Amino acid sequence: MVRSLYWRSLMTTNEKIKILIIDDHRLFSDGLCAMLQPEPGIEVLSRIYDSREALRAIRELEPEIVLVDFNMPYINGLELTRLLLENHPNLKILILSMYHEERYTETFRKSGIRGYLFKTVSAEDVILAIQTVHSGGFYFPNTSGKSNHADDNFLKALKLSPRELEVITLIKAGLKTKEIAEKLNLSFYTVETHRKNIKLKAGLKGENDFLRFIYEL
């Protein structure tokens, strides 16, 4: 485990960094908690599996750092980040994600988070990120900007237009129809039409299936 002068200074004052984990994947969330609990400088206050409970939990528990999953139902990581920072502007947020593309990192960086962690990193990296953010720094990975080729081939097979692919990218980044329209200089209804065409080409019936399809790409 990471050991540093920073950790030692915390330990000598018996202070612990108070952490809250928000992730709907229970196995990952519980595993992350088990990994962090032995660290003398960290206290995991709780694990939240439903993003809709986040605000209440933060008011009650008052964590210093929140680890937030990017891809969650109900309120995704980007929307939740904005909501949390509106209500708790001094809260330090670390995003956990499987997505390595630079566009996601940059989208979240602009939202006000303090760091972005891939879910494939080591325990030492997670602890280093927590330490860095708690001490006032930022923790962002180096990204190649390359997308998954299997996903690219799958999307090409659906014969999606370049504009439809842009819409998918922005939806995955957490933008709503109105925000996508503004970013692409399109009308609200044009973006809605692109969404409907994507659903049709992918054989999707409802909004839940559509969003699940988008976020699992």
For every residue of 91-134, which 3-state class applies, written as one string?
A: CEEEEEECCCCHHHHHHHHHHCCCEEEECCCCHHHHHHHHHHHH
Residue 40 lies in a domain: yes
Are 174 and 131 within 8 A, CB to CB?
Answer: no
pLDDT of residue 148: 45
Alpha-carbon distances, residue 98 vs 34, 116, 120, 121, 217 (angstroms): 20, 10, 7, 10, 11
Among 106, 134, 162, which residue terminates a domain? 134
Both 90 and 172 in a single domain?
no
CATH number at residue 61: 3.40.50.2300
Both 124 and 173 in a single domain?
no
Both 90 and 58 in a single domain?
yes
pLDDT tens-place values along the chain, 217 residues long:
444 444 444 544 568 999 999 999 888 899 999 989 888 889 999 999 999 999 999 999 999 999 999 888 888 888 899 899 999 999 999 998 877 666 667 777 788 899 988 888 888 889 888 988 888 888 887 654 444 444 455 566 677 888 888 888 888 777 889 988 988 888 999 999 999 998 888 888 788 878 877 766 6
Both 106 and 22 in a single domain?
yes
The total domain count for the chain is 2
What's the pTM?
Answer: 0.60
Residue 100 lies in a domain: yes
Q: Among 49, 146, 140, which residue's Cα sits nearest to residue 95?
A: 140
Both 102 and 179 in a single domain?
no
Both 117 and 179 in a single domain?
no
Both 10 and 36 in a single domain?
yes
Expressed as residue numbers, the domain containing 185 is 149-215
Both 80 and 17 in a single domain?
yes
Among 75, 109, 134, which residue terminates a domain? 134
Both 210 and 127 in a single domain?
no
Residue 139 lies in a domain: no
Q: Which residues pair with 118 in a beta bridge?
A: 97
Both 173 and 209 in a single domain?
yes
Residue with tokens 């994600």: 97
Residue 141 lies in a domain: no
177: helix, coil or strand?
Answer: helix
pLDDT of residue 142: 61
